[in-house]
């Protein structure tokens, strides 16, 4: 599940959806916040204007009352009664008004919506400032549990001052309206985000579908390595994806053509190689069998035609027999090469086997002053093998090595266990094998030796035997440095 999500995030579709959704969310949110703060400002401004209007109307009314009082048209009690009545009336008309107070020029409270304040000295700083400066002040504060806007307005005509009016209007209603707008905007942001996300997801899916299909087809071809693999027909499109499809199909066709061409070339090459091998094999067999056959034919001719003494006859019969033996040996080697002869496997201790074989090489090696080094690991268990056939392999490789090594060289035989296999290396410090003939040395009848010295069957027969044992034979050689033949034989 987590892995699928990770893959989705890193896909083109996932990245596009995430980035687009994030951008839409951020833009809608920022836009809404800007609009909300603007509307909040306007609402507040409107509210303060309303508060100013109320205070201005009240101020005019109350200033009149003060003038009447000054002119003796109203006595003090009438003024106080009027003020109480006015305050009560005002608060009934506008429920947002939390308190109203009228203060005389000395700072004494003449009337208050809260009766207990009557007659006290006003301690409110902004009001006292209004009394001294004759200017309206607007402040915000708490009144009981409410936030209120306080307006303190002077009751004056020009420089004649009778006191001040103080009104507190609750901002609760306006705050509620602002909160309502905020909620509305939040819902709009969520709604738009969901709608955009849905549209983007569907759009991205529709757009990405052909690309995903194309990439799956490519993946399929890559996984199976089969260019001829069939896939659903791709719909024709006129957009960029259509162009991509066409390019892909064009490239696939080119690859298919190139692949066919390559296979054809390889077939021809294989055929040619086979022909060369068969030719070499045929000429080798012909050459190897022809010599003893000619000898035999000559002997027979002499035996039939000439009047020979017994000892000559016997010599000729021996010569015929030798020729036949030679032919028999070649046929046997050919059989080994074609793996038709029977293999009889018995448990063999490879180190003992090699030590026994090397005894045969002591004399020829010492004659050429070649040092034979045994580096045999003691950790190798007995292995199942046809001892006679394997002896042929080792004899051939060792004889080749001795023949290739000059006076004073070294021949090293090393055995090592290797992951269920036994690795046997035969290292000589001989002339080495030139790189141009190295690929041919396992071919039947390939030899660089003089006529009569080698048949060229040694290594090809050896490889056949080693493969019969489930192993392999490799060669590594450098001209002038030496050659290493490595056999890998399974232990069990």
Ligand X SMILES: Nc1ncnc2c1ncn2[C@@H]1O[C@H](COP(=O)(O)OP(=O)(O)OP(=O)(O)O)[C@@H](O)[C@H]1O
Give the DSSP H/E element, type plus range, for residue 473: strand 472-478
Shortest distance, CB of residue 445 to ligand X, whole angstroms? 8
Per-residue tokens: 313: 């006859």
Candidates 161-169, 349-357, 415-423, 424-432 — which segment interacts with ligand X by CB under 6 A? 424-432
Per-residue tokens: 47: 């509210």
Counting other chains too, the contacts that 364-368 makes at CB distance below 8 Å and 24 or more residues apart are 364/402, 365/402, 365/411, 368/402, 368/405, 368/406, 368/407, 368/408, 368/409
Q: Is 429 in the site for ligand X (CB under 6 A)?
A: no
* Residues 454, 403: Cα–Cα separation, whole Å: 11
Kindly give, in sequence order, each residue whose CB lies less than 8 Å from that of residue 470, ignoring residues fewer than 6 positions away. Answer: 489, 490
Pick the closer one to ligand X by CB: 421 or 446: 446
Candidates 131-139, 254-262, 406-414, 452-460 — which segment interacts with Mg ion by CB under 5 A? 452-460
Q: Is 459 in the site for ligand X (CB under 6 A)?
A: yes
Which residue minimizes CB distance to ligand X?
458
Partner from ligand X, Mg ion, none contacting 401, C-beta within 5 to 8 A by type: ligand X
Cα torsion angle, 227, 230, 236, 237, sign: negative
Candidates 7-15, 43-51, 107-115, 398-406 — which segment interacts with Mg ion by CB under 5 A? 398-406
**Whether 430 contacts 406, CB under 8 Å:** yes
Shortest distance, CB of residue 453 to ligand X, whole angstroms? 7
Q: Cα angle at 323 between 317 and 328, to 5 degrees?
A: 125
Among 449, 470, 474, 478, binds ligand X (CB under 6 A): 449
Shortest distance, CB of residue 284 to ligand X, whole angstroms? 10
Per-residue tokens: 142: 């708490």
Among 46, 448, 467, 478, binds ligand X (CB under 6 A): 448
Pick the closer one to ligand X by CB: 299 or 401: 401
What residues are paired with 154 via a beta bridge? 164
Q: Is 87 in the site for ligand X (CB under 6 A)?
A: no
Q: Is 473 in the site for ligand X (CB under 6 A)?
A: no
**Whether 196 contacts 143, CB under 8 Å:** no
Pick the closer one to ligand X by CB: 195 or 479: 479
Q: Is 428 in the site for ligand X (CB under 6 A)?
A: yes
Shortest distance, CB of residue 389 to ligand X, whole angstroms? 15
Q: Is 458 in the site for Mg ion (CB under 5 A)?
A: yes
- What residue ranges in 73-229 does DSSP mark as E strands? 97-104, 109-112, 137-143, 146-157, 160-170
Q: Is 447 in the site for ligand X (CB under 6 A)?
A: yes
Question: Can you give the binding site for Mg ion, defined by CB under 5 A?
Answer: 396, 400, 458
């Amino acid at each position: 599940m987590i892995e699928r999500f990770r893959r989705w995030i890193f896909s083109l579709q996932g990245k596009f959806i995430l980035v687009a959704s994030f951008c839409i969310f951020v833009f809608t949110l920022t836009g809404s916040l800007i609009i909300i703060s603007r509307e909040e400002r306007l609402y507040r401004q409107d509210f303060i204007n309303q508060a100013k209007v109320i205070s201005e109307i009240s101020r005019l009314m109350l200033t009149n009352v003060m003038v009447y009082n000054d002119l003796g048209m109203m006595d003090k009690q009438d003024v106080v009664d009027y003020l109480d009545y006015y305050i009560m009336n005002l608060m009934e008309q506008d429920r947002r008004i939390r308190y109203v107070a009228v203060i005389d020029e000395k700072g004494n409270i003449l009337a208050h919506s809260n009766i207990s304040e009557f007659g006290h000295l006003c301690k409110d700083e902004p009001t006292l400032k209004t009394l001294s400066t004759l200017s309206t002040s607007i402040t915000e504060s708490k009144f009981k549990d409410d936030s209120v806007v306080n307006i303190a307005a002077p009751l004056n005509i020009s420089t004649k001052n009778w006191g001040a009016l103080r009104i507190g209007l609750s901002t609760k209603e306006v705050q509620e309206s602002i909160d309502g707008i905020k909620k509305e905007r939040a819902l709009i942001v969520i709604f738009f985000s969901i709608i955009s996300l849905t549209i983007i997801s569907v759009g991205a899916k529709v757009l990405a579908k052909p690309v995903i299909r194309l990439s799956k087809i490519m993946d399929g071809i890559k996984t199976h390595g089969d260019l001829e693999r069939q896939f659903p027909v791709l719909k024709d499109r006129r957009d960029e994806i259509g162009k991509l499809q066409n390019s892909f199909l064009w490239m696939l066709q080119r690859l298919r053509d190139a692949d066919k061409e390559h296979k054809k070339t390889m077939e021809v090459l294989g055929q040619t190689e086979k022909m060369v091998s068969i030719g070499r094999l045929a000429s080798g067999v012909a050459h190897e069998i022809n010599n003893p056959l000619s000898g035999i034919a000559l002997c027979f001719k002499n035996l039939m035609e000439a009047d020979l003494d017994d000892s000559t006859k016997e010599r000729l019969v021996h010569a015929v027999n030798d020729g036949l033996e030679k032919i028999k040996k070649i046929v046997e080697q050919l059989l080994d090469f074609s793996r038709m002869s029977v293999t009889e496997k018995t448990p063999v201790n490879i180190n003992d086997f090699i030590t026994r074989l090397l005894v045969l090489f002591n004399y020829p090696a010492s004659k050429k002053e070649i040092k034979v080094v045994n580096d045999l690991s003691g950790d190798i268990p007995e292995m199942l093998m046809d001892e006679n056939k394997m002896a042929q392999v080792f004899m051939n490789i060792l004889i080749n090595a001795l023949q290739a090594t000059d006076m004073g060289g070294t021949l090293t035989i090393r055995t090592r266990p290797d992951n269920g296999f036994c690795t046997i290396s035969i290292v000589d410090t001989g002339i080495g094998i030139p790189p141009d003939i190295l690929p041919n040395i396992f071919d039947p009848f390939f030899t660089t030796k003089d006529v009569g010295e080698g048949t060229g069957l040694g290594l090809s027969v050896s490889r056949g035997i080693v493969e019969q044992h489930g192993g392999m034979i490799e060669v590594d050689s450098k001209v002038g440095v030496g050659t290493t033949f490595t056999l890998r034989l399974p232990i069990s």
